[in-house]
Amino acid sequence: MKLNFILLAIVIAFIICYCFSKKKKIQEGQISVAPQTSGGLLNGYEDILIGVSEDYKLFRFNNPKKEWQQLRGKSCCVTDLAYWNDTLLGVGRYDHRLYAWDKMGVRGGLWKLATNLPMEWMQSIGVWKNKLFSANQQSLFRWTGKADGKSVDPFKRGKGNKPAWVWCGAKPNVKSIKEYRNQLYVVDKQGRIEMFVDGKLDQNGKLKGSWKRIGQPTEGLRSICEWNDKLMGIGTDNHLYEWSDERQNWFSKTTKFKLLSIMSLSYDQYQSQFNKPKI
């Protein structure tokens, strides 16, 4: 009888250890039952990381496999990305103008000029407080078109409504513009991250606040984005890095793929741009 109890206890202990040691995996687009302790995911769909490769084509990051996969369509040639008004946007490699991703169905899409402003010139774009921003070699600009769901095309200049790029603050050679935890962040001309402290838009649409450098003084970045509540970056070596709040430093992700720019899309946003539903 005593031996039976010992054997039963061993079996129960083995089952408990197995259950606690079994690792749960969350794939892109699946429902997360609980946040991952290592990744800090919130409940819900996992966001999808996309990037521009060194040959100016669009790729997505397959998180479980830790590899980059090329997206369908004629995705060349842009240098930076943003998502605004249900539209994927890019900066043209050759003319530095604003482009919009045109969904073409099961075979992918292509880039088309978003505005009819031949004199526009930008090197980076981003979104903060649902406003679209761009940067040239000297300053930041805000697009006056509205993303309220009512404007069919907020990029074209019509007779009544004439959206345009308006100056909103001096900031030379910004490489990347992103929103992270509701704050405005940029990568400056030296590859350092700066946060817009106490930032807001005044009644004239100008940026009011102060810029503060954060992160490591030795960091060298060219692009950043928020991905599943984590801060990701592309280094000057064009490799993917992740910021650790606990260790206050950047750490390389296990991928040798080289990129120019990255951004994150929600699962629904990704589906709307690259997996057009069949009718």
Q: pLDDT tens, 6-38?
A: 655 665 655 554 444 433 333 333 323 223 333
Phi, psi of 5 (to 5 degrees): -65, -40
Q: Judge contact between 166 and 141, C-beta under 8 A.
A: yes
Residue 88 burial by CB count (10 A; 0-12/13-18/19+): exposed, middle or buried?
buried
So what's the pLDDT on residue 26?
31
So what's the pLDDT on residue 23?
37
Q: pLDDT tens, 164-217?
A: 999 999 999 999 999 999 999 999 999 999 999 999 999 989 999 999 999 889
Residue 93 pLDDT > 60: yes
Residue 156 pLDDT > 80: no
**6-10, 66-70, 147-151, 249-253: least confidently modelled range:** 6-10
Q: Judge contact between 96 and 123, C-beta under 8 A.
A: yes
So what's the pLDDT on residue 146?
81
**34-48, 170-184, 218-232: least confidently modelled range:** 34-48
CA distance 209 to 202: 10
CA angle 97, 170, 124 (to 5 degrees): 30
Give the β-pairing of 109-113 and 73-74. parallel
Express the helix, strand and coil content of the chain in percent, nearest 5 each.
10, 45, 45
**123-127, 131-135, 175-179, 251-255: least confidently modelled range:** 251-255
pTM assigned to the model: 0.81
Give the β-pairing of 48-53 and 259-265. antiparallel
- Token pair for residue 14? 């083995």
**50-59, 83-92, 142-151, 241-250: least confidently modelled range:** 142-151
Residue 106 pLDDT > 90: no
So what's the pLDDT on residue 103?
82
CA distance 116 to 155: 8
**132-141, 150-159, 261-270: least confidently modelled range:** 150-159
Residues 6+ apart with CB under 8 A from 157: 115, 116, 117, 163, 164
So what's the pLDDT on residue 21?
41
Residue 53 pLDDT > 90: yes
**86-90, 130-134, 146-150, 197-201: least confidently modelled range:** 146-150
CA angle 14, 17, 19 (to 5 degrees): 110
Query: In the chain, how long is the greatest CA-to-CA distance?
Result: 92
- At residue 104 the predicted structure's pLDDT band, cuts being 50, 70 and 90, is confident
Residue 54 pLDDT > 80: yes
Beta strands in 33-97 (DSSP E): 44-45, 48-53, 58-62, 67-70, 73-74, 78-84, 87-92
So what's the pLDDT on residue 43?
36
Q: Judge contact between 62 and 26, C-beta under 8 A.
A: no
Residue keyed to tokens 């292509």: 110
What's the average model confidence in pLDDT over 126-130? 96
Higher pLDDT, 86 or 151: 86
So what's the pLDDT on residue 34?
29
Average pLDDT over all residues of the chain: 83
Q: Judge contact between 44 and 33, C-beta under 8 A.
A: no
End-to-end CA distance of the chain: give it in Å, rounded: 67
